[in-house]
């Protein structure tokens, strides 16, 4: 069978599986809808957390970013796993002991304030929507490339599936589909990586293959070969970092604290039965995540070598089919600067502006002509980073079923994260906004109805984001982490570890972090983008890492304010005592 | 009486978390970022050592840390008689 037919089979079979699971685990109470009844097995919760967490960005984009940025990509590897250590040690057990439904619940109760709860609701909705838009784009890319349907049709199919199992199943349905989705996505990520690792290094484990010598008896280490290739072509060496130490430090810190503060991840720890389960469940989640994260740099290095070797110095007419398919999909572009009909892949950007704008015509060799200006660099090639994971099985000439498997894996990653985010949005609206604020008297069945309605509306809005992607989505997603770091992290941390922390301190701290981080990002990204470089940044910190500084300001303001304002009421101090100890409820 | 037990328990908990977070900080921020160029002078199989820490080693240590935490906290719970049923 062709890769396309196989993709239909794999994607169809996995979708049927998700729908079947959702049908069997329908929610019938708000407790089941929000937190799956609170009795999910810790290992299952670990797998669900991993699928919830690993989005289209982890599955599709991360290895691509590392392939092109090399050592700088380590900020994502360390940031997105190191954040789990913070989550496991500082948050998960205590929030489980607290035992409510949502993150705004914790903020609202701990700080005995509806204002604090509302600020938290707004942050949750903002963070979740920016995130979900990226997932829908991922769904669109996979559908358009592999099933050759319109991107919009792909988004609509994705929406229909998510709608069915999140609206019907709630957290209970989502949890068990996420377990299945984790299995699909990790299998789809590891199989091609193992194949390619064996072909290139003879070592079946990609994480060790990356540190091995290349096949063929020359004894050259793979990474040395890649550093040599990149240097030869005038590119930055793969294992060399381009960012300053200060910037790497702050970006990694912002990603870590942001990960720990992301509401859709935190809420997963409300679903296990006991505090002890929350601790071990966080540990399992990290193992499941680490499996993909330690493989990603290997995938990146293998793909970079393969792409250089199969494309550079090859005439356009001799290029493999995958090149032309991705060119037709608008994610690869070639500008024949020296009119020799041969692809020169070198350092620097090929085009000005960097993203290709195609004209309707074809050039002398049959390539799609571009409206972009040429850059001063010799490089003639543009490759979108998001295609690396999807394209590399074809680049390495793996069997068709592996190509199809990767498509199903990418969809599993995007759909599982989208569903988790939609549930958080729906709970923030039906539980925190309606039940706890606007309509305190509503019955459970009415609340459940509103939860389903909110989930349905959220799916539609997310779909619209996928069909009409706002141009700034990619910029904003990285900042969701900065904002989570600068707002939620200090408030939750101090709420647990500092008994005297009061509502004045929490609100002023959150506002400081929010306004500072938001202002800095808006200034450099939208108001004055030409100044967005090292010489204008404060202390050399890029907008991507500024959330870590915002977090520091949040801590300073919160601790100062709490010294000069009254201690929280006694029952709040008792609440803090209670969440600190697994089996005591005073 | 109960008051005293949970205070000692909490102090032991904080001590454990501080030790584990110190390790977390060293492997990621120090070995993976601050001293990465210095460590890259050394090799670890086919890896430069600093590159290995920032793309592999730190993650392995993170996994060990969360399991150690879970195990140690469970025994702390038992020692202070605070474990759940």
A23 pLDDT tier (thresholds 50, 70, 90): confident
Q: What confidence score (pLDDT) does residue A304 get? A: 94
Element (H, E) at A496: helix A473-497
Nearest CA in chain B to A253: B29
Residue A276 has pLDDT above 50, yes or no: yes
Residues of chain A with C-beta less than 8 angstroms from the C-beta of B47: 210-211, 223
Query: Which residues between 117 and 156 in chain A have a beta carbon less than 8 angstroms from any beta carbon of chain B?
Result: none
Give the pLDDT score at A308: 92
Give the CA-trace dihedral at A149, A153, A159, A163, to 10 degrees. Answer: -110
How much is the pLDDT for A426? 87
Domain boundaries, chain B: 2-79
For B57, which residue in chain A has the nearest alpha carbon? A294
pLDDT at A499: 92
* pLDDT of A481 higher than 80: yes
The torsion angles phi and psi of A78, rounded to 5 degrees, stand at -75, -40
A vs B: CB pairs below 8 A: 141
By Cβ distance, the residue of B10, B46, B84 closest to A222 is B46
B71-81 residue pLDDT tens: 999 999 999 88
Contact across the interface for A577 and B40, Cβ inside 8 Å: no
Closest CA of chain B from A159, distance in Å: 34
Mutate to test the interface with B, among A80, A89, A226 (most CBs of B within 10 A): A89
pLDDT tier at A399 (50, 70, 90 boundaries)? very high
Mind listing the domains of chain A with CATH numbers?
A: 17-22+29-306+396-580 (1.20.1730.10), 315-389 (no CATH)
Residues of B in contact with A581 (CB under 8 A): 6, 9-10, 82
- The rounded distance, in Å, linking the Cα atoms of A163 and A186 is 24
Quickly tell me which residue has 């389960």 as its tokens: A277
pLDDT band at B85 (very low <50, low <70, confident <90, very high): confident
> How many Å lie between the alpha carbon of B64 and the closest alpha carbon of chain A?
9
The secondary structure of A296-353, three-state, reads HHHHHHHHHHHHHHHHCCCEHHHCCHHHHHHHHCCCEEECCCCCCCECCCCCCCCEEC
pLDDT reported for residue A478:
67
A chain contacts of residue B9, beta-carbon cutoff 8 Å: 581
d(CA B11, CA A31): 34
pLDDT for residue A471: 56
Band (pLDDT 50/70/90 cuts) for residue B2 is low
What confidence category does residue A473 fall into, taking pLDDT thresholds of 50, 70 and 90?
A: low
Shortest CA gap A276–chain B (Å)? 7
- The nearest alpha carbon in chain B to A580 belongs to B10
- Using CB atoms, which residue from B21, B28, B74 is nearest to A276? B74
- Residue bearing the bigger pLDDT, A296 or A459: A296
Mean pLDDT score, A328-345: 89
Nearest residue of A to residue B85, measured between CA atoms: A583
Q: In the structure, what pLDDT confidence band is assigned to residue A271 with cuts at 50, 70 and 90?
A: confident
Instruction: Scan residues 29-68 of B and list those with Cβ closer than 8 Å to A.
Output: 29, 32-34, 36-37, 40, 44-48, 51-52, 54-56, 58-60, 62-63, 65-67
Q: What is the DSSP string of A388-437?
A: HHHHHHHHTT--HHHHHHHHHHHHHHHHHHHHHHHHHHHHIIIIIIIIII
- Closest partner CB to A89 (pick from B9, B44, B69): B69
pLDDT mean over A374-390:
88
The pLDDT of residue A123 is above 50:
yes
For residues B15-21, average pLDDT: 97
Report yes or no: A43 at the B interface, CB cutoff 8 Å: no
pLDDT bin (cut points 50, 70, 90) of residue A586 is: low
The confidence band for A364, taking pLDDT boundaries of 50, 70 and 90, is: confident
Q: What is the average pLDDT score of chain A?
A: 88
A130-184 pLDDT, tens digit each:
788 778 777 777 777 777 777 778 888 888 888 887 887 888 888 889 999 999 9
Q: What is the mean pLDDT of residues A464-491?
A: 77
Measured in angstroms, the CA of A581 and the nearest CA of chain B are apart by: 7
Residue in chain B nearest A238 by alpha carbon = B51
Test B62 with A84 for CB contact under 8 angstroms. yes
What is the interface pTM, i.e. ipTM, of the complex? 0.95
For residue B1, the model assigns a pLDDT of: 41
Using CB atoms, which residue from B6, B34, B58 is nearest to A82? B58
What pLDDT shows up at residue A245?
A: 93
Contact across the interface for A210 and B2, Cβ inside 8 Å: no
How would you classify residue A484: left for phi > 0, otherwise alpha for psi between -120 and 50, otherwise beta?
A: alpha
CB contact under 8 A, B46 and A213: yes
Q: Is the pLDDT score of A477 beyond 90? A: no
Please tell me the distance in Å from B83's CA to the nearest CA on chain A: 6
- C-alpha closest to that of A304 among A358, A400, A381: A381
Looking at chain B from residue 11 to 30, which residues have their Cβ under 8 Å from any Cβ of chain A?
13-14, 17, 20-21, 24, 28-29
Model confidence at A86: pLDDT above 60: yes
Chain B residue numbers with beta carbons less than 8 Å from the beta carbon of A245 are 33-34, 36
> How many C-beta neighbours within 10 Å does residue A309 have?
12
By CA distance, what is A219's nearest residue in B?
B46
DSSP secondary structure, A159-221, as one string: HHHHHHHHHHHHHHHHHHHHHHHHHHHHHHHHHHHHHHHHHHHS-S-HHHHTTSBPTTTT--B
């Amino acid at each position: 069978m062709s890769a396309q037919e196989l993709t239909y089979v794999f994607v169809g079979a996995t979708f049927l599986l998700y729908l079947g699971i959702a049908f069997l685990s329908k929610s019938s109470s708000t407790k089941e809808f929000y937190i799956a009844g609170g009795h999910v097995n810790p290992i299952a919760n670990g797998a669900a957390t991993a699928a919830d967490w690993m989005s289209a960005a982890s599955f599709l984009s991360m290895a691509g970013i590392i392939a092109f940025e090399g050592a700088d990509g380590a900020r994502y590897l360390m940031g997105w796993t190191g954040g789990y250590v913070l989550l496991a040690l500082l948050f998960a057990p205590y929030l489980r002991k607290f035992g409510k439904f949502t993150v705004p619940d914790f903020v609202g109760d701990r700080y005995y304030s509806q204002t604090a709860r509302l600020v938290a609701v707004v942050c949750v909705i903002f963070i979740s929507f920016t995130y979900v838009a990226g997932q829908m784009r991922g769904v669109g890319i996979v559908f358009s490339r592999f099933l050759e349907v319109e991107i919009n049709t792909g988004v609509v199919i994705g929406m229909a599936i998510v709608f069915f199992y999140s609206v019907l199943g709630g957290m209970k349905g989502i949890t068990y589909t996420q377990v299945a989705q984790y299995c699909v996505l990790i299998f789809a990520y590891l199989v091609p990586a193992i194949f390619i690792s064996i072909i290139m290094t003879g070592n079946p484990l990609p994480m060790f293959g990356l540190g091995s010598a290349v096949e063929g008896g020359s004894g050259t280490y793979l990474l040395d070969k890649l550093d040599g290739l990149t240097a030869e072509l005038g590119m930055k060496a793969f294992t060399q970092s381009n960012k300053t130490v200060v910037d790497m430090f702050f970006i990694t810190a912002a990603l870590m604290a942001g990960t720990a503060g992301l509401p859709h991840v935190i809420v997963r720890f409300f679903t296990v039965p006991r505090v002890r389960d929350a601790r071990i469940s966080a540990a399992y989640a990290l193992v499941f995540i680490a499996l993909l994260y330690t493989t990603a740099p290997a995938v990146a290095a293998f793909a970079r070598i393969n792409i250089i070797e199969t494309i550079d110095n090859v005439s356009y007419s001799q290029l493999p089919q995958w090149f032309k398919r991705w060119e037709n999909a608008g994610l690869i572009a070639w500008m024949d600067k020296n009119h020799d009909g041969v692809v020169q892949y070198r350092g620097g950007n090929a085009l000005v502006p960097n993203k290709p704008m195609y004209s309707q015509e074809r050039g002398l060799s049959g390539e799609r002509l571009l409206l972009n200006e040429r850059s001063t660099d010799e490089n003639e090639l543009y490759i979108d980073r998001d295609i690396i994971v999807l394209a590399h099985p074809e680049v390495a000439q793996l069997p068709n079923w592996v190509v199809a498997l990767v498509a199903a894996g990418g969809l599993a990653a995007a759909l599982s994260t989208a569903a988790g985010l939609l549930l958080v949005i729906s709970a923030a609206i039906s539980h925190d906004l309606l039940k706890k604020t606007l309509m305190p008297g509503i019955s459970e069945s009415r609340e459940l109805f509103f939860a389903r309605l909110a989930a349905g509306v959220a799916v539609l809005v997310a779909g619209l984001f996928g069909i009409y992607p706002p141009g700034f989505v990619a910029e904003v997603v990285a900042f969701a982490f900065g904002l989570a770091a600068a707002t939620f992290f200090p408030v939750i941390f101090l709420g647990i570890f500092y008994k005297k922390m009061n509502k004045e301190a929490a609100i002023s701290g959150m506002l400081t972090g929010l306004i500072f981080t938001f202002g800095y990002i808006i200034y450099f990204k939208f108001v004055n983008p030409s100044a967005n470089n090292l010489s204008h940044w404060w202390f050399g910190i890029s907008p991507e890492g500024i959330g870590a500084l915002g977090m520091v300001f949040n801590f300073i303001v919160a601790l100062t304010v709490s010294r000069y304002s009254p201690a929280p009421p006694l029952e709040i101090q008792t609440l803090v005592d209670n969440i600190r100890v697994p089996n005591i409820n005073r | 009486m109960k008051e005293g037990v949970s205070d000692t328990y909490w102090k032991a908990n904080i001590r454990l978390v501080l030790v584990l977070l110190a390790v977390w900080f060293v492997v990621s921020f120090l070995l993976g970022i601050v001293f990465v160029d210095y460590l890259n002078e050394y090799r670890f199989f086919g890896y430069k050592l600093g590159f290995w820490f920032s793309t592999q080693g730190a993650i392995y240590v993170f996994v060990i840390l969360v399991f150690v935490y879970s195990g140690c906290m469970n025994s702390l719970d038992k020692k202070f008689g605070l474990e759940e049923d």
